[in-house]
Amino acid sequence: MRPFFFCVLLFIAGLFSFSPLPAETDTYVPPVGEAPPVAPPLKKGSPLDHLANDPKMEALPVGYKEGRTSDPIYYIAHRGIDDMGGQGWGWVKKNGESWGSAKWIALQETPGTAVAPFRKLTKRDGDANWEFKFWGSYASYKAYDPRLDELLPVFVLQGYEVIGPENPLNNKIGSPDRSNHRRSGASSREGRPILTDPGVD
Amino acid sequence: MRLFTLLFSLFVLGTLTAPAQSREKIVLTGGPALRFMEHGKGEVSHDVYWFNFVDASVVWLKKIKSESKPDELVTWLIYRPAYQSRSNEMGLNLIAQLQDKAKQLGVNLLFFDNTDQLINYFNRGLDRSKVKIASFDYFGHSNKACFLFDYSNTIDTMSIAFLHVNDLKRIHSNIFASDAVCKSWGCHSGELYSKQWKDHFDIAMIGAIGKTDFSHGALPVLSNSDGKWSQ
């Protein structure tokens, strides 16, 4: 009888000393009559307002400049499209160097100063195989492309000048890891792109 | 009877004098995209509403805060740069709004600006030999291999702040309580991230097979009928 009594006491004490986390609920019902959240009106004069309301072009004017373009040191950039669905912008090399030294990059725009040339076009790939002079620099960080699970060097754009259309390059598209078939260790990167929409809203 | 009395007294004494185990419940919230990046993408345009992840986090924080014991900390970790840049874009002070929300909830708000700071908090933000993490919930963009705190905010459709499954090894494996409950509310985590999480921490993490939908401004739900939560 005593051991049984002792066990009962232990059980009761245990109830007070452990606190299992509650079961979660997956659904939420918003208050009746509450409007769903929406984006605010475009702020007049903002970069988005400018992009949304300016007329789009079929092709960029050769010689067009945007942003800071006065520095004598610049890069040459060749727009490429990743058929695997990656969001890299294209190749960038230092002016005067060969395309063999070029890097496949992620383009970081600077709204208010210089944005990707395709922003002015009716199609995002409307500048495929066009070349540009780029002003800017490489960032200390890399960009992760969630569609292909790969890392790309980041070029921070400060200005550009349109050179014009050129022949396609023979360079391999994508990060060096993809080109060299290196395995990262994550099963998601081993030869099988993710290719799923990563986001939600 | 003496032996029982002695044992019972020791037990009661022990429960009264032993320091209560401190635990921490963490909610991690990623940032929204910029409309500058997502404008014009039609149905795949992300984060029309800037607080989609925040509203979901608040619903969850209210719940876990109300259920927490006095010795349990509730910490809200938010990736600040995305809200700062969205603030700049919208002409609103979203950071102040986040601070107000945290104050109303009565939770410990911590902003982080990069993944290193986040990992440092996991490992050394509190004395993890004494304060174990009792629950972890992630609200934000993700694919099956990565939590994306920044997405389409600095670079169109890309991320510069993320926690990839390859980065999990940088987090000490003993930071969680043995009964910890973890969940990623983002897309696709159940397809790979949950397994890697379990392998590293020996703690299950619930994640979605398929996409999740935050558009209600509340706790996300599975987007597709064939989606499910897994661990």
ipTM rounded to 2 decimals: 0.88
**DSSP codes of every residue in A105-146:** EEEE-BTTTB--GGGGBSSTTTTTTEEEEEEEEEEEEEEEET
From the list A29, A47, A154, the residue facing B36 with the nearest CB is: A47
Q: What digits encode the pLDDT tens for the residues A18-65?
A: 333 333 333 333 345 444 444 555 566 666 666 667 788 999 999 999
pLDDT at A14 over 50: no
Distance CA A166, CA A152 (A): 24
Per-window interface: A 140-159 vs B, CB < 8 A: 141-147, 149, 152, 154
The helix/strand/coil state of A92 is strand
Residues B207-227 have pLDDT tens digits of: 999 999 888 778 988 988 889
Best CA proximity match to A103, nearest among A165, A179, A158, A40: A179
Report pLDDT for B8: 53
Highest mean pLDDT among A12-26, B9-23, B45-59, B63-77: B63-77
CB B118 within 8 A of CB B163: yes
Q: How do A130-145 and A150-165 pair as beta strands?
A: antiparallel
Q: What is the sign, positive or negative, of the torsion defined by CA atoms of B13, B17, B20, B21?
A: negative
- Percentages (nearest 5) of helix, strand, coil residues in chain A: 20, 25, 55
pLDDT at B19: 41
What is the mean predicted confidence (pLDDT) over A170-177?
Answer: 86
Contact A141 B218 (CB under 8 A): no
Taking only the tens place, the pLDDT of each residue in B52-65 is 899 999 999 999 99
Q: What gap in Å lies between CA A24 and CA B205, rounded to an integer?
A: 13
**pTM assigned to the model:** 0.82
Q: What percent of chain B has pLDDT over 70?
A: 90
Q: What is the pLDDT of residues A178-200, one digit of tens each?
A: 766 554 444 444 444 555 555 44
How many angstroms from the chain centroid is the CA of residue B113? 15
Phi-psi region of B217 (alpha: psi -120 to 50; beta: other; left: phi over 0): left
8-state DSSP, A97 = S
- Strand pairing of B132-139 and B23-29? parallel
The shortest CB-CB distance from B151 to any of A139, A196, A199 is to A199
Interface test with A, best of B36, B89, B115, B229 (most A CBs within 10 A): B36
* pLDDT at A156 (0 to 100): 97
Instruction: Answer yes or no: do A28 and B33 touch at CB < 8 A.
Output: no
Q: What's the average model confidence in pLDDT over A76-95?
A: 96
pLDDT digits (tens, 9 = 90+) for B110-169: 999 999 999 999 999 999 999 999 999 999 999 999 999 999 999 999 999 999 999 999
Token representation of residue A65: 């400049």
Mean pLDDT of chain B: 89
pLDDT band at B14 (very low <50, low <70, confident <90, very high): very low
Model pLDDT, residue A194: 55
